[in-house]
Amino acid sequence: MAYPLDRIALISDVHGNLTALEAVLADIDGRGIERIFNLGDYVGKGPRGREVIEVCRERCEVNILGNWDDFLPDPDRTYDSEAIAWWLAQLADGQGEWLRGLPFSHDFLLSGRRVRLFHASATSVHRRVRFDHDEAEFLGMFANTPATGDGPAPSVVGYGDTHDPFYEVDRERRTLFNTGSVGNAMDDPTPVYVILEGVLGSEVDAPFSIQFVRVPYDVEAELAVAARLGMPELAGYVSELRHGIYRGEMHAPGGPKYHRQPRPRQPAA
């Protein structure tokens, strides 16, 4: 039986990297995908948060709150970091208010599955859930919370935040995936985004897929812009974009650690 399948591109964690965003959008356009949902973190780390916001407001059908979007323009917060002050100053008038006013999550039906998207976890944009979570953390991602609101619980959850893409499913068909990062991907620094495919709005089971797409781009052009604009923490940006090594690990004792640690295996049944 033939199904008219819909496709939705999910992007996340652009972090001011306009060069990577433009490359990913060109790939999305080349595939004929018209719906783009953004899972947050438009700003910080990279030099062009203002331009990234402008593009995403124009191109993305859904825009979701990220942790940087919440704390960077917080008027009640004081900063003693030169870099934070610099990234905040890049925002245009009204962009900080727009960021902080974004919705926490977005729910929809796709091929009989209820999909929920948010930035970091079901409870807060500031609570991180890594790929090596335990079962309680896994189940918590599907729970209704004051942040997500009431309603039917999702069977598919997609999120960003960790810059570390993965896919996981249990025997109840609960599916958890991380989109990875467009502008600040770790380990493999190639930008990555996700394509969801299925029958949008359908309560009836139908073909459903999750595809991860890596898109190469001109890293050196992005770094040249950051240098020209005098962005602080440039060495950290170089480490992340060229090598996929998180800037916080550059000076760790013993040198940089491998970002993705092995997940403990469960005993065989």
pLDDT digits (tens, 9 = 90+) for 22-80: 999 999 999 999 999 999 999 999 999 999 999 999 999 999 999 999 999 999 888 88
- H or E element at residue 99: helix 95-100
pLDDT digits (tens, 9 = 90+) for 159-186: 999 999 999 999 889 999 999 999 999 9
Higher pLDDT residue, 207 or 265? 207
Please determine, for residue 112, whether its predicted confidence score (pLDDT) is greater than 90. Answer: yes
One-letter amino acid of 87 = W
- Which tokens is 21 given? 């965003």
Helix, coil or strand: residue 223: helix
Q: Is the pTM of this model over 0.85?
A: yes
Q: Assign residue 233 a region: left if phi > 0, alpha if psi is -120 to 50, beta otherwise?
A: left
The DSSP annotation for 130-199 comes to -TT--HHHHHHTTS--TTT-SSSPPSEEEE-SSS--EEEE-TT--EEEE---SSS-SSS-S-EEEEEEE-
- Which tokens is 43 given? 């700003």
> Per-domain residue ranges for the chain?
6-249
How is domain 6-249 classified at the CATH fold level? Purple Acid Phosphatase; chain A, domain 2 (3.60.21)
Q: Please, which residues have CB within 8 angstroms of residue 56's CB and are 6 or more apart in sequence? A: 14, 21, 38, 42, 63
Report pLDDT for 130.
Answer: 87
